[in-house]
Amino acid sequence: MTRTKTLPPTFFLGAVVLTLILHFTLPLAQLIQYPWRLLGFVSLVAGIVLNLVADQAFRRHKTTVKPFEKSTALVTGGIFGLTRNPMYLGMELILLGGAIALGSLTPFLAVVGMGVLFDRIFIIPEEIMLEEIFGQAFRDYCRRVRKWI
């Protein structure tokens, strides 16, 4: 599997732009009405917090946050005890929050599409690399903790 050197936030920002384009040019149907659309901000804030907490965990363990660089520590505690991919989950929650806040059908396509892209382009290659580096410890971690939630 070939690996990209493009960082996940670049894909994430592309998805944000795509979400807005889809909403304003091809909304299809308004699924969520005001004031319910305000609930999107709960998901958005949760996604931001999740990313910040995960980033701090990487910093505390002095390992890289970049998916194509070799990890020097297997982080399994804190938020990583709930999900193996809190930063990707956080970005997905931000996109989901935006889709809910916009309320139309088409932004949800970007949410699903990014989840698939994150998995195929980043998560699968990262997990292969982590298994090569950490072996049984990583396999045990995978048995204990789900990929997403």
pLDDT for residue 86 is more than 80? yes
95 contacts 113 by C-beta, under 8 angstroms: no
Q: 63: closest CA among 80, 88, 48?
A: 80
pLDDT for res 28: 87
CA distance 132 to 74: 12
Q: What would the two tokens of residue 9 be?
A: 């936030």
pLDDT for res 1: 47
Could you tell me the pTM of the whole model? 0.93
- The DSSP secondary structure of 6-41, one letter per residue, reads S-HHHHHHHHHHHHHHHHHH----B-S-TTGGGGHH
Mean pLDDT of 99-114: 95
Query: How confident is the model over 35-83, as pLDDT tens digits?
Result: 999 999 999 999 999 999 999 999 999 999 998 899 999 999 999 999 9
